[in-house]
Amino acid sequence: MTQVLEFKLPDLGEGLTEAEIVRWMVEVGDVVAVDQPVVEVETAKAMVEVPCPYGGVVTARFGEEGTELPVGAPLLTVAVGEQAGSAGRPPAPEAVAATEAAGESRGSGNVLVGYGTSEAPARRRRVRPQRPAAAPRTPAEPADAGRLNGRARSAGQPDGPVPVISPLVRRLARQHDLDLRELTGSGPDGLILRADVEYALRAAEARGARTPAAAADTAPQAAAGHRAPAPALGGGAAPDEVRTPLKGVRGAVADKLSRSRREIPDATCWVDADATELMRARAAMNAAGGPKISLVALLARICTAALARFPELNSAVDTEAREIVRFGHVHLGFAAQTDRGLVVPVVRDAHARDAESLTAEFARLTEAARAGRLTPAELTGGTFTLNNYGVFGVDGSTPIINHPEAAMLGVGRIVPKPWVHEGELAVRQVVQLSLTFDHRVCDGGTAGGFLRYVADCVEQPAVLLRTL
């Protein structure tokens, strides 16, 4: 007997209430296996592939690419049963009419890639051609030059496809006679999103005399978050004003940072440290053969050792219970800048990892962050954050604590500077370290002791060896 089961958009965690459909990975009539990814959605945290907990034939999809669905809304229906997948054909009408009933044993109950069961059957999905990688553009080349726009073109113009996967985006551009070839997408790999089209249309409307196609030149600036000087915030929009919605990753970051500043009485202390010996130790480790050790991995190892000595900083404040919650594990977050905005991936159980394992995990999470493939589980649960803002070429910062954590260690760039070493002036590799901490969980003595221990390990890595 064939039954039709409805699969709804699952709870993706961390209070996320909606997600935008980015790409359907199956068509109506496709045969899907248990835990096979069926749709790619974008939340305020990341791009997530959602697997279907049922195996059978897809009978319906709900929602076009580019639309937002609330958690709990239907995603698709699957006909399960012996007749459902015969020869990969859709089920008979009388089978589709069957009501949702038993059949839960055919589904795994999993909702996110990475949480699958070990007994899931082999996946069967249609092989889809991959998009060829786009050749790099020169600054003088028009954005997406030579690509098809949202309207059908004649057979004599067989250019490659414009980077749009959402029918909603194409329809919106077609309704306003907007040439998508003139846009540079703000999505992954230059993907043109609905926001890019809306920016172009609003800019064209504000300028009046300009056509939408000409106004599209402002879309890349809008997508990149560029703002015109002295924007008018009241009494109507200025002609050169560009407004960027606080949504997606940027909106989630804004909410979290605002909450941090409202709730946490933070303070910052800092110290300069001579990192010459740390850099020499890393060079010696990498010269010995084997996997290369990253600098951030060594700093993370120092952080976990310091937190073992000063556990007050590996905690959070439960405001409702008026209690300080101290953690016995270190889930170490690290700030990563991506095209989609600032994200903080979390290295689980960093205290139990050596430098080699930390290096590999940092590399894996960084690559996933840049590709927009981090799962909600990889973006939550941190107990302490390491922020290496030295990659931006700056010496110091007073970062905002990653709520609800209690502290963040900041590391500036390591540069040659005059330094008194063994009583003589010398050129040494100097770094500025800063610690921003929640003053509710500890006083300055604890924070200063933590930062001084970190600086001592940076200046004399042998100090760290004594604690292992």
Catalytic residue among 226, 329, 421, 439: 439
Question: For residue 334, what are its two tokens?
Answer: 């690290």
Measure CA of the first residue to CA of the last residue in the chain; give whole Å. 62
Query: Does residue 439 carry a catalytic annotation?
Result: yes
The 3-state DSSP class for residue 144 equals coil
Query: Does residue 159 carry a catalytic annotation?
Result: no
CA nearest neighbour of 72 among 17, 3, 4, 5: 17
Angle 271-275-278 from CA coordinates, rounded to 5°: 135
Per-residue CA distances from 171 to 152, 160, 174, 390 (Å): 12, 19, 5, 44
CA nearest neighbour of 162 among 183, 151, 147: 147
Catalytic residue among 159, 189, 349, 443: 443
Residue spans of alpha helices (H) in 310-443? 355-370
Residue spans of alpha helices (H) in 269-314? 276-287, 295-309
CA nearest neighbour of 295 among 359, 365, 360, 363: 359
Query: Cα-atom radius of gyration of the chain, to the nearest Å?
Result: 26
Residue 250 host element (H or E)? helix 248-263
Query: Annotated active-site positions, please?
Result: 439, 443
